[in-house]
Chain A
Amino acid sequence: MIKFDRVSKRYPNGKDALRRIHFELPAGQLTFLTGHSGAGKSTLLKLIMMIERPTQGQVFVEGQNLNGFSTRQVPYLRRKIGMVHQNHQLLFDRSVFDNVALPLVIAGFARADIGKRVRAALDKVGLLNKEKLNPIMLSGGEQQRVGIARAVVNKPPLLLADEPTGNLDPALSAEIMDLFHDFARVGVAVLIATHDLSLIARHRHRLLTLREGRLIHDGEDDDHGA
């Protein structure tokens, strides 16, 4: 699903954010990405989203080399990637329904189809009865679930999450994690960037650990070395 082939990223200020990163994520697998802040987690996600381009090496998504993508093609790549943010990135000038519908509107789905898909996604995260509310009226956990509904509404093959449980208590975190597991079970590749070690400890999953831009650990989470 995702493949990093000896990828390095050096920012214009000379900072090496990533050094020769090499790994592969298969479909249907849930993987944690961890490391201290500044270790390169954000850069790695940005390379997948094509917010940044690698200095060296190649990133593949669904077997396609992202180096071959022009700037104009970037939006079409992003439509295959569901992105969940720590701060939800919801728009408070419109309803929950319209927030979740946005990716479908952008991709050009028919109106009737949009209604069906949005309700399916909201049902999945348990917020079907809140579609008409403004997200500002929801709790933090509910807002995060709206963000997840928006990320999965067009059934992307890849789901990225950046500190998705950052502001949530353990019970809510567990709910969110359950959702991610469900998506992985139906074949979505899920990559969760987090430094919440307790979250990682509660689930036995593949763990990628970054330190100063190097991938220092890749394996089950019994020894994550961070």
Chain B
Amino acid sequence: MAPNSPRARRPGGARSARTSLGDRLRAWRHHHRDSLRDALNRMRAAPSSALMTVLVIAIALALPAGLAVLLDNARVITKGWDGNAHLSVFLEMDVDESRQRQLADDWADFDTVKRTEVITRAQALDEFKALSGFGEVLEALPDNPLPPLIVVYPDNAAPGQVEALQTRLNALPEVDNAQLDVAWVRRLHAIIELGDRLIGVLTLGLAAAVVLVVVNTIRLAIESRREEIVVIKIVGGTDGFVRRPFLYSGFCFGFAGGVLSLVLVGTALWWLGGPIDELLNLYESEHSLTGMSASTVLVLPLFSGTLGLLGAWLAVSRHLGDVEPQF
């Protein structure tokens, strides 16, 4: 600001003559401790408004955190499904049973195929009758409408390989249609990936909301402590000294919000846990709902605290300059 501000020399030696470096370091440490205590005391002094701020932060963070947990679960559950990938190869209607078995044996010798399974037209019909309940309708048909089927289990479920196999089988003259039964799993995975991105966007937006909530809270705090700030500036308090209690406040709001959001997510998972496990059982999955990882429990409050700190910093750098001593 001043033309010769690059001169880093501090004016005056009287100060250092009166307080030793050790004293000042100790005072600096004390002021950090006092600022933290002060921030907590002020939250305790106005519990309802502090709780409001903390709650807003907690809800804003619980939303993406909770969704992330559900998405992680979905990912774990569907992971195994790729392993069961197989091709249902429907043959032309005129392929007879011996030819069908021969083809199945041939294909089983492909190096990308683990094994094959023959389902004859008759077997298919029996199975269909048993499972569909349309038995009588089928009886009435003159011919068995079902094509012969060979189920091909690939050696390796890597997407590229399975598709290559599908193309190869489709090209055979006796094959009507080789259908990949994991297409819907792939789609599910794509949806999960999309969900991941959405959570990212959501997190970004809600993190910004947390910062703004803290900015507003700290702005009000600065306003209500205007006199104190003026006095501190007049008696020679540095900007750092003035800033410190507000930064601690911001961090405390964020941290408390983060902890509370863990509680919210935990409660929600507990609440949803029973029905979800039941649902998974119906799908014959042995998986049961897993909660938040230890790293999330550790990182979320710190992340939130950092957001609070950032908000406080923005509020302080924006509004502290407005408070100047006047007389």
Contact = CB atoms under 8 A, between A and B. Distances in A.
Given A51-B324, A67-B3, A91-B227, A106 B23 contact: no
B234 A89 contact: yes
Interface stretch (B12-20, B55-63, B73-81, B122-130): B12-20
A108 B235 contact: no
Interface stretch (B26-34, B196-204, B205-213): B26-34
Contacts of B294: none
B26 A106 contact: no
A76 B24 contact: no
A79 B10 CA distance: 13
A109 B17 CA distance: 11
Nearest to B3: A67
A157 B241 CA distance: 23
A69 interface: yes
Interface string A94-111: 000000001101111111
A99 B30 CA distance: 17
Given A105-B27, A105-B31, A107-B15, A70 B241 contact: no
A76 B10 CA distance: 8
A42 interface: yes
Interface in B275-316: none
Contact of B12 (A45, A64, A70): A64
B326 to A, nearest CB: 8
Interface in A49-100: 49, 51, 53, 62, 64, 67-73, 75-80, 83, 85-86, 89-91, 93
Contact of A102 (B23, B232, B324, B326): B232
A150 interface: yes
A108 B2 contact: no
A142 interface: no
A162 interface: yes
A49 B14 contact: no
A24 B228 CA distance: 32
Interface string A160-201: 001000000000000000000000000000000000000000
A85 B327 contact: yes
Contact of B327 (A70, A73, A162): A162
B2 A150 contact: no
Interface in B31-81: 31
Most chain A CB atoms below 10 A, which of B24, B27, B236, B237: B236
Most chain A CB atoms below 10 A, which of B14, B232, B235: B235
Contact of A107 (B7, B228, B236): B236
A78 B242 CA distance: 15
B238 interface: yes
B135 interface: no
Given A91-B228, A108-B28, A76 B11 contact: yes
6 contacts: A62-B12, A75-B239, A77-B12, A108-B26, A109-B27, A111-B30
Given A42-B327, A68-B4, 5 more contacts: A51-B326, A64-B11, A68-B7, A79-B236, A109-B19
